[in-house]
A and B are shown apart, each in its own frame.
Chain A
Amino acid sequence: GAGVSQSPSNKVTEKGKDVELRCDPISGHTALYWYRQSLGQGLEFLIYFQGNSAPDKSGLPSDRFSAERTGGSVSTLTIQRTQQEDSAVYLCASSWSPLGEGRETQYFGPGTRLLVL
């Protein structure tokens, strides 16, 4: 079946502009996560959705970052007034709401590479 998809694959923007990054999770996956991967670094947790609710937003770096999820499916990460330090790869992952062994696996999308000039 179809995996997690993200769009756009690449985004170049000017400092101060707003950007929207989209994630389409695997159908039926109720849990959705956003991570950020800076060059040569590990993945940094940003936010977690269960259905349309975000019980954990603790990883969002500042109030310029926000995210929403609609219909228990598609999620959008918005970065307002982008800064150069926002340049990174933004990865989305989805999983089942775990009810048993093996259902906790997070499947990652290909990421959106954001470059802020």
Chain B
Amino acid sequence: GENVEQHPSTLSVQEGDSAVIKCTYSDSASNYFPWYKQELGKRPQLIIDIRSNVGEKKDQRIAVTLNKTAKHFSLHITETQPEDSAVYFCAASRFSGGYNKLIFGAGTRLAVHP
């Protein structure tokens, strides 16, 4: 069945360093890849997403890259800040018409130390 694997499960960095989280997906027909940030006790919130017709997308300090051949996508956070500390989830879907069932990775707990 559909599966998304996410690594690492935990990541600890110093403030100002970069953080990279990697995901692989199994369904080659997947065409939509969002990343969600979930702070403790809060709802998941979309931080960036990418469609399969694009190889890279950037929004200020965050960027996502997609390698369709390898079925692999990554989140890059530069100049990390303590407020970036949260759990990050990647997801993949075969987005079609009104249907967008997201298959989530298990999450990465990012800790940014001052």
- Interface size of A by CB at 8 A reads 28
Contact status B100-A45, CB under 8 Å: no
| Size bin of chain B's contact surface | 20 to 34
Contact status A105-B49, CB under 8 Å: yes
A55 vs B102: C-alpha distance when bound (angstroms): 15
Contact status A91-B100, CB under 8 Å: no
A55 vs B91: C-alpha distance when bound (angstroms): 21
Contact status A41-B43, CB under 8 Å: no
A100 vs B100: C-alpha distance when bound (angstroms): 13
Partner of B44, one of A30, A43, A56: A43
- Taking beta carbons and an 8 Å cutoff, which residues of B are in contact with A? 4, 6, 32, 34, 36, 42-46, 49, 51, 89, 91, 95, 97-107
- Taking beta carbons and an 8 Å cutoff, which residues of A are in contact with B? 4, 30-31, 33, 35, 40-45, 48, 50, 55-56, 91, 95, 97-98, 101, 104-111
